[in-house]
Structure 1
Amino acid sequence: MAAPARTERPASPAAGLCTVVMTLLGWSSVPLFLKHFSHSIDPWTSNGWRYGFSALLWAPVLLFIGVRGTKPSRLWRAAVVPALFNACGQVLFTLAHYRIEPALLTFGLRLQIVFVALGAAMLFPAERRVVRSPIYLAGAALVLLGAVGTALLGKEPLVGGSLEGFLMAAGSGALFAGYALSVRKTMAGIHPVVAFAAISQYTAGAMVVLMLALGERSGLTALDLSTGQFALLLLSAVIGIALGHVFYYISIANLGVAISAGVIQLQPFVVGAASFVLFDERLTPLQWCSGLVAVSGAVMMLWLQKRLSSRARAQALADEAERARAERLVEPKLAEVK
């Protein structure tokens, strides 16, 4: 069954700008929430409660399309592989907060865009022209150089737990890249809100099972938090997992993928500023410069991808118009022959 029909609405730059800023702030809050709770609950408990609550928030979407009879027939099957990547990525991402500070972690996470490029070149032949572009490769090199710089140019060398944390951040970036690519590969044609609602159920199931198996007191330590802190834990799921994705989809609909994704690249700077205030995390000037290099490379890659895809669409439209014109010229001649 096809995905639910959508009514096309005129793009609203104002709505797009508002929602992409809300997405940026919401997703920037996630590392801050995780770091805050790293001092009071273990990572398995944190993930289990946050994703379990988020699954409840997304469940009405699935109930709605189920009642209406518009659920894509392949939805649950198509969501399995993306959910596996997402669950594994979330585990590494959360564990990293127990070893390094939020700003350094989010700069390391920028490596995700390089892994996306590599995966796209392998899975989607049409993407290879983009990935082979010298400008695109230069952008990828800047991302790598900048990420390595943020890791190596701090006041203290990355060793032991801090090195593990940075590698976990990079590893989660690779897994999140696999998540994005598998969504594109297996869930094409399914509305993104419906797709994420299904993925979130699988992810939540994995997180809850891990919490019950590995969490301290099977996750019950979260109930030892004060009422305000427990509410804050659930609020982090609402902001980062539920509303963050909704706002992002709205911003894409109004601004396009390239602009929305480009704005989100500012996340490490927002996290870094907030982490300085909240946790006294202090990156060196060279680390900030390296982070700027990494983000600039990511924006360069997104810009080129947008430019080349726009050219390809324009060429496809021109070819279609030419075919239509040729058909109009041929039809009268065929009528004369008859």
Structure 2
Amino acid sequence: MNQTNSIARLDDRHRRTRLSEGYAAVFATILIWSTPSLFMYYLNRYYDPWTQNFYRYFVACLAIAPLVFYRIQRGGPEIDLRAVGLCLLPCLPNVVHQVTQVMALFYMGPGVYTIFIRSSVIFTALLALAFFPEERLVIRQWKFQAGTLLGLIGAFGVIWFQPNVQSQQRHIALPGLFIAFAASFCWALYGVLIKRPSAQLGSIRSFGLVSFITSALLFPLTLAFGKIDTPLHAGADVNVILVISAVTCITLAHVLYYVAIHQIGVALAQALQLLCPAGAMGLSAWIFHERLTGLQLWSAAILLVGAFLAMRVKPIATAVTAENI
């Protein structure tokens, strides 16, 4: 009996440690992901969407490469054609998401976009329900359902009441709405599809492959639709900002996000991302003087209430342990 109790205590301690690591990773990701839309909004002045994303992911690939080689030397899963195949499918929606999110910033400010992209939680919940039976315990809890529903309503309100600066209309242009929804859905799809490849390969290896494949996919698109020589004309200060955004918002944040989805699940990790708009709106108001209308503020409040409910969901126990960073 004593031995059984000791094993139970060890299992409970291990579970609490795993959840603590997951929450630490997701909150660090939230802090970092409060800034990407601001970087991209600024870089839109100098880079087209194709070129901006290609160079940001290329820099992210270079940044993660030393850690990938270090992991390979220590042993573990090999990076072979099978590993490339595992990561290829998630990269397809990732490419679409990266390009459409930059395009969306031509129709709205960075703070509004950061709020709206949280609508991906509802897509993530539905996709996780379809792909991962182990996620269904979280999704079936009423707090998660209510939280994601309120988050979707709030996110839609924030973007719907965004004035159209090009025509002085009260609502955003429909192309901007469709582009933003495409970015949100593809981000959710990427988050679901990357779960098992990152679980099998580890967070470092999986993102190393994702960044390499995404860069490779973006390169011909940049040649066809972008301007590959933009860094030569943008200026050193602009290029430094691009590098900083790539290393922090792509490399570091993705690795932390992978740890989070391993430890607390895809659905809950995405739901907690609903907290990002608070930081993004504050920074955008300070830097770009972005302001929300009264209806947008009410919508944002509804969204944050949804985030609070989603945060109170009890995480499921997962069998996968992420690599330590």
TM norm structure 2: 0.79
How far off is 1:249 after superposition? 5.5
TM norm structure 1: 0.76
Residue pair 2:90, 2:193 contacting (<8 A) in 1 also: yes
Which AA in structure 2 matches 1:172? A
How far off is 1:203 after superposition? 0.7
Q: How high is the sequence identity, in percent, across the aligned residues?
A: 29
183, 200, 203: which one aligns with 2:194: 183
Q: Counterparts in 2 of 1:78-157, with a 5 A limit? A: 78-154=86-162, 156-157=169-170
Change (3 A) 1:119 1:247: closer
Tell me the matched-pair count: 298
Q: Counterparts in 2 of 1:296-311, with a 5 A limit? A: 296-304=305-313, 306=315, 309=316
Distance 1:201 1:229 in 2: 23
Moved more, 220-229 or 261-270: 261-270
How far off is 1:240 after superposition? 0.8
Q: Which consecutive unaligned segments of at least 5 residues does structure 1 have? A: 1-7, 314-338
1:288 is matched with which residue?
297
Residue pair 1:26, 1:240 contacting (<8 A) in 2 also: yes
1:200 is matched with which residue?
211
Residue pair 1:44, 1:214 contacting (<8 A) in 2 also: yes
54, 57, 81: which one aligns with 1:51: 57
Distance 2:129 2:26 in 1: 28
Distance 1:290 1:45 in 2: 33
Distance 1:189 1:29 in 2: 30
260, 271, 279: which one aligns with 1:270: 279
- Root-mean-square deviation over aligned CA pairs: 3.2
Which AA in structure 2 matches 1:197? G
Distance 2:134 2:248 in 1: 35
Distance 1:241 1:36 in 2: 16
SS where residue 313 of structure 2 aligns? helix
1:71 is matched with which residue?
77
Change (3 A) 1:299 1:169: farther
How far off is 1:247 after superposition? 4.4
Change (3 A) 1:75 1:14: closer
How far off is 1:37 after superposition? 1.2
Residue pair 1:103, 1:268 contacting (<8 A) in 2 also: yes
Q: Which consecutive unaligned segments of at least 5 residues does structure 2 have? A: 1-13, 164-168, 320-325
2:223 is matched with which residue?
212
2:179 is matched with which residue?
168
Residue pair 2:138, 2:268 contacting (<8 A) in 1 also: no
Residue pair 1:106, 1:169 contacting (<8 A) in 2 also: no
Residue pair 1:45, 1:222 contacting (<8 A) in 2 also: no
2:253 is matched with which residue?
244
Distance 1:252 1:124 in 2: 12
2:29 is matched with which residue?
23
Change (3 A) 1:250 1:186: closer
Which AA in structure 1 matches 2:69? L
Larger radius of gyration: 1
